Amino acid sequence: MINQENAPKNGKPLQVNVLRYDPESGGAPYWQTYTVPRRRASRVLDVLEYIQDELDPGLGYRRHICHNLVCHSCYVNVNGHARMTCQALIKPDVAEIRIEPYGDFVPIRDLIVDYAQPR
Amino acid sequence: MLSTVAQVKTDVLIIGSGAAGARAAIEAAEFTAAVTLAAKGAPRRSGTTNLAGVHYAAALGHADEDTPWEHFHDTIVEARWLADQELARVMCLHGPKSVHDLERYGLHWYRTPDGTHYKQLPAPGHSFNRGVHYNGKTGKMVQDALIDEVKRHPNIHLLGDVFITQILVDDSGVVGAVGIHLERGELLAISTRSVVIATGGAGMVFKVTDMETGSTGDGIAMAFRAGADLIAPEMHQFFPTAFVWPETLRGVAVNSSQLWKLGLRLYNANDERFMERYYPEQKEHMPRDILSQCIFREITEGRGAEHGGVWLDTRWIEEFETLRRDRPRSYIWPEKLGVNVQRIEVAPTYHFTLGGIRINTEAETTIPGLYAAGEVVGATHGANRLAGNALTECLVFGEIAGRNAALRALSTTARPAPEAMVRAECQRLRGVLPETGTGRRPRAIYDDLRHAMYHNVGIVRDGRRLRAAVRRVAELREEVRSVQLTNTQHYNVEWIWALELDGMLELADLFATGAEMRTESRGAHYREDYPLLDNENWLKNILVRREGKRHVYWTEPVTLPYLSEVKMRYAEPSR
């Protein structure tokens, strides 16, 4: 990714804590931790795509997105702040990040929110 | 799985909420039809319209002596004479009106300093300054203005996160549709007599593309399954200059076409300005298809730079610093990712699906009640599309499709979607989304397909690789029957991939087979084993239709009702 060159190739993996929510179980949201190799952890977008493709295909995260700062459908909360995942760079010295669904809309599953239903 | 079926009744169903679909919805609503506008993603936030670059081509003549007829002439010549002249004529003549429509919806185009005229920019292939624009955000502004207008109409029901999977057709034409409500994971049986397909292109069938990731050609595949004619399945446009590095930007187009006019230069790894060798007079000032082929040839013949691209040099462009500051997303953002925008390493990226559903000038497909508009349509741009013509096509044919769909709906009696057909589609969907599959996951097959298509059916083709692609696609189709899926009901991302894959595999076969049939080179279709343009034998279009399980291919000569003296603008090797 970005700065694949800048990211330490064999650096310590990134801990990614994702707030998950399963509408079918009806239970409360819960945290799940994933470990993502540094070379796949330059933007939050890369991290979530890596988790979905390689670790957990069941993770709910929208994949119909522009990848390029335009569409605004990839919003999540990163460490408590609303960010577009394509624009959220992860510094190489960060060891752990926290990802929650975008708080302004009603959640559908995991990180997917219903943009037609503001909270 | 998918055990509940919800009923929806609507006069007009529009599939896709991008420029063409949204415009169609507005038009149908103004004719008092009850409209359901279904989008696979979140409306306004999904679709490729958002990503459209700078130009909106319309011959307003505000910058010079341009006329719609000149626009038509350029479109046909640059299409290498393969465009449907009737469709292109309608697009060009209606183009200026659509600019005013958008302004009425709230898009305040860039104007001349005194405010009296629209600013119109030059682009390669256009003989006049024709691109009205909103700087680097034209696509986004078009999408926003249209959705804002859609929301002003109480009779448009916007339905996001709905994947329409089948158009129901009997002898009388369209009788309904079936879709999946992704959020709830339930089936929708839609009663309607009019459907507009506006789902855009199929860029995701190829590995490297600048399209939005939902551009999987669902609508083209759906129309084909329903029995509609497709035209020009072999024609796919690549945008010559897209980032190859960093990896995260790979495939993103370096905006915009305007750079060519302003003095952009291309160099290979030996620091040779290689376009001088191919076209000593025009150099980089060439249309997209020719530039893509020249760049691709430099790369494959070993003169590419370290990440497999060539160098795009902007230092010769006087206005570049202004452009850079004006368009931060295009230039300043890549800088943050480590790109030096004075010298960008670039290669071609899949940009536009030239082939697609066959329509007439009323936006009617070959099935009564089924309409199509926008990129999903084939033959409007022939073998090469001009900058800015894509949005124009969406708005112009969106309007026509919306009107005709409404008029049909208002003059026919609605009836419930036939139950037997809905059941048959449920059955088919259970095959596409098997509950107990043990094979690979859909994403892995998806990636394999995209890889095979990019390498074998991409910019430079030959018969051997095209046949290899057909075989590979057949293998993957076999494999996809036992795909392994997550077992959840609410917004199952793997369902989406499996559904998309089903259509993509169908289309990939048509794309490769069509490309093998066309034994010449023309515009975006370049065959290494048939490198010459062949007007004697190939001034015709390839068409395909499904009859039962069989794919029936045939060709039809291009008709030349308005411009008949076939003359090429560039010195292309020909027979």
Phi then psi for residue B305, to 5 deg, are -80, -170
Cα–Cα distance for residue pair B433/B87, rounded to 1 Å = 38
Distance CA B498, CA B59 (A): 43
DSSP run (H or E) holding A83 = strand A81-84
Asked if the structure places residue A23 within a domain, the reply is: yes
Q: Do B51 and A66 touch (CB under 8 A)?
A: yes
Nearest residue in A to B44, CA atom: A71
Angle subtended by helix axes B138-151 and B389-410, to nearest 10: 20
pLDDT for A4: 45
Residue among A4, A63, A64, A102 with most chain B CBs within 10 A, to mutate:
A64
CB-CB contact of B238 with B297 (8 Å):
no
The whole-number pLDDT of residue B414 equals 83
Kindly report, residue by residue over B27-46, the tens digit of the pLDDT.
999 999 999 999 999 999 99
Residue B234 token pair: 């072999």
Q: CB of B41 within 8 A of CB of B47? A: yes
In a domain, A7, yes or no: no
Distance from C-alpha of B437 to C-alpha of B457, rounded to nearest angstrom: 30
Question: Angle formed by the axes of helices B389-410 and B19-30, to 10°?
Answer: 30
Chosen from B137, B141, B212 to mutate, greatest number of chain A CBs within 10 A: B212
Q: Is the peptide bond before B246 cis (omega within 30 degrees of 0)?
A: yes
Low pLDDT (below 70) residues in chain B? 1, 256, 574-575
Q: A2 in a domain, yes or no? A: no
Q: Cβ contact (<8 Å) for A70 and B329?
A: yes
φ and ψ of B439, to 5 deg: -80, -155
A54 interaction partners in chain B (CB closer than 8 Å) = none
**Dihedral sign for Cα atoms in the order B26, B30, B31, B33:** positive
CB-CB: which of B45, B46, B252 is closest to A68?
B252
A69 within domain boundaries: yes
**The tokens of B484 are what?**
């392994």
- Taken in order A35, A40, A41, A47, the sign of the CA dihedral is negative
Minimal-distance CA residue of chain B relative to A110: B491
Q: Phi/psi zone of residue B210: left (φ > 0), alpha (ψ -120 to 50 degrees), beta?
A: alpha
B121 DSSP assignment: B
A78-108: pLDDT as tens digits: 999 999 999 999 998 999 999 999 999 999 9
Q: Is residue A113 part of a domain?
A: no
For B308, residues 6+ apart whose C-beta sits below 8 A from its C-beta are B244, B299, B347
Instruction: Please name the amino acid found at residue B337.
Output: L
Please say whether the beta carbons of B565 and B73 come within 8 A.
no
Q: Give the torsion sign (CA, B437, B438, B439, B441).
A: positive
To the nearest whole Å, the CA of B51 is away from the closest chain A CA by 7
Q: What is the CA radius of gyration of chain B?
A: 23
Structural domains of chain B, with CATH: 5-235+354-420 (3.50.50.60), 240-348 (3.90.700.10), 433-537 (1.20.58.100)
What string of pLDDT tens digits covers the 119 residues of chain A?
344 444 445 678 999 999 999 998 888 999 999 999 998 888 999 999 999 999 999 999 999 999 889 999 999 999 999 999 999 999 989 999 999 999 999 999 999 999 999 98
Torsion, CA B336, CA B42, CA B106, CA B53, rounded to 10 = 40
Q: Could you tell me which residues come within 8 angstroms of residue B471 by beta carbon, excluding any fewer than 6 positions away?
A: none
Question: How far off is chain A from B345, nearest CA to CA, in Å?
Answer: 14
Taking CB atoms and an 8 Å limit, are B490 and A108 in contact across chains?
A: yes
- CB-CB contact of B86 with B149 (8 Å): no
Tokens at A10, concatenated: 């064999």
Peptide bond into B521 cis (omega under 30): no
Q: Rounded to a whole number, what is the distance in Å from the CA of A51 to chain B's nearest CA?
A: 13
Cα distance between residue B347 and residue B297, in whole Å: 11
Is A108's CB within 8 Å of B214's CB? no
The CA distance from A71 to B410, in Å, is 35
Question: Which of B247, B336, B443 lies nearest to residue A57, judging by beta carbons?
Answer: B443
* Domain annotation covers residue A98: yes
Alpha-carbon distance B484 to nearest alpha carbon in chain A (angstroms)? 10
A8 is a domain residue: no
Backbone angles phi, psi at B283, to 5 degrees: 50, -125
Separation in Å, CA B536 to CA B183, B533, B566, B568, B574: 53, 9, 11, 14, 10
Instruction: Tell me the nearest-neighbour CA distance from A104 into chain B, angstroms.
Output: 15
Long-range contacts of B326-330 (CB under 8 A, 24+ apart): B326/B135, B326/B136, B327/B135, B327/B136, B327/B255, B329/A68, B329/A69, B329/A70, B329/B136, B329/B137, B330/B136, B330/B254, B330/B255, B330/B256
A58–B488: do the CB atoms touch at under 8 Å?
A: yes
Task: Return the number of other C-beta atoms located less than 10 Å from residue A66's C-beta.
Answer: 26
Cβ neighbours around A72 below 10 Å, total: 17
Task: Report how far residue B411's alpha carbon sits from residue B426's, in angstroms, rounded to the nearest whole number.
Answer: 30
What is the pLDDT at residue B396? 98
Of B46, B248, B490, the CB nearest to A73: B46
Residues of B in contact with A5 (CB under 8 A): 338
pLDDT at res. A68: 87
CA distance A44 to B535: 51
* Residues on chain A bordering chain B, Cβ-to-Cβ distance under 8 angstroms: 1-6, 22-24, 42-43, 45-46, 52-53, 57-73, 89, 108-109, 112, 114-116
Write out chain A residues lying below 8 Å of B43, CB-based: 115-116
Total residue count of chain B as it appears in this document: 575
Chain A residue with CA closest to B216: the answer is A64
Total domains in the fold of chain A: 1
Residues B58, B99 contacting (CB under 8 angstroms): yes
| B329:A3 CB<8 A | no
For residues B176 and B415, what is the distance between their CA atoms, to the nearest angstrom? 9
| CA neighbor of B48 nearest in space, from B379, B338, B349, B328 | B349
Q: What is the CATH number of the domain that holds A82?
A: 3.10.20.30
Q: For the residues of B460-496, what is the DSSP string, one character each?
A: EE-HHHHHHHHHHHHHHHHHHTT------SSS-HHHH
The answer to whether residue A72 is domain-embedded is yes
Is A16 in contact with A38 (CB distance < 8 Å)? no
- How far A80 CA lies from chain B's nearest CA (Å)? 22
Residue among A63, A89, A116 whose CB faces B160 most closely: A116
Q: Which stretches of chain B sit within 8 Å of chain A by CB? A: 40-46, 50-51, 139-140, 158, 160-161, 183, 212-214, 246-249, 252, 329, 333, 336-338, 441, 443, 486, 488-491, 493-494, 496
Environment class of A4 (CB within 10 Å of its CB; exposed 0-12, middle 13-18, buried 19+)? middle
Query: How many angstroms separate the most distant Cα atoms in chain A?
Result: 44
What is the nearest CA distance from A23 to chain B, expressed in angstroms?
7
Q: Number of CB pairs < 8 Å for A and B? A: 106
Query: Ramachandran region of residue B151, left (φ > 0), alpha (ψ -120 to 50) or beta?
Result: alpha
CB B159 within 8 A of CB B172: no
Quote the domain boundaries for residue A61. 14-108
Distance CA B39, CA B36 (A): 10
